[in-house]
Amino acid sequence: MATDCIFCKIIAREVPANIVWETEQVLVFPDMNPQAPTHLLIIPKKHIPSLLHITPDDDRMIAGIYAVVKDVATKFNLDEGFRIVTNNGALAGQTVGHLHFHLLGGRKLVWPPG
Ligand code: AMP
Ligand code: ZN
């Protein structure tokens, strides 16, 4: 846990969030500033600053993220389409330094994303 990390505080239940899915290694809750009718954040419970910081030890967790994507997309009726986004680094717009995967759905999503 990183003491100054908002997502670590959510994992530790020190900051409230409406947790909609949880596994041994992964937590899912709504984004507080939703960009689509369904906008969830899928995060590892382990504090990893960005995709550049994952190691082979994280292989099982990364696979677990995508298993959760499938389960949550199904639970939220997103079978017709959804998008997974990871903003990595300041230039890509990453604002929280704890790896997370945005799950966006419930509307037509345009491409390119901008
Ligand atoms: P990013 O800008 O890609 O790093 O994504 C960080 C996301 O975290 C933003 O979309 C924020 O709206 C969201 N966020 C930040 N703090 C919280 C929080 N306490 N609860 C839910 N979402 C949050
Ligand atoms: Zn963290």
Evaluate whether residue 112 is within a structural domain. no
Evaluate whether residue 114 is within a structural domain. no
The model's pLDDT over 51-101, given as tens digits with 9 standing for 90+, comes to: 999 999 999 999 999 999 999 999 999 999 999 999 999 999 999 999 999
- Domain count for the chain, please give it: 1
Which residues in the chain belong to E strands, given as ranges?
Answer: 21-22, 26-30, 38-44, 82-85, 101-105
Quote the CA–CA distance of 7 and 80 in Å, as a whole number.
Answer: 29
Q: Could you tell me if the CB of 81 is within 6 A of ligand 1?
A: no
Q: Which residue has the higher pLDDT, 3 or 42?
A: 42
CA of 88 to the centre of ligand 1 (A): 13
* CATH code of 73's domain: 3.30.428.10
Evaluate whether residue 111 is within a structural domain. no
Evaluate whether residue 90 is within a structural domain. yes
pTM value surpassing 0.85:
yes
Q: What ranges in 22-97 are assigned the alpha helix state H?
A: 59-75
30 CA closest ligand 1 atom index: 21
The model's pLDDT over 9-35, given as tens digits with 9 standing for 90+, comes to: 999 999 999 999 999 999 999 999 999
Residues 6+ apart with CB under 8 A from 79: 73
Evaluate whether residue 56 is within a structural domain. yes
Instruction: Name the residue range of residue 32's domain.
Output: 6-105
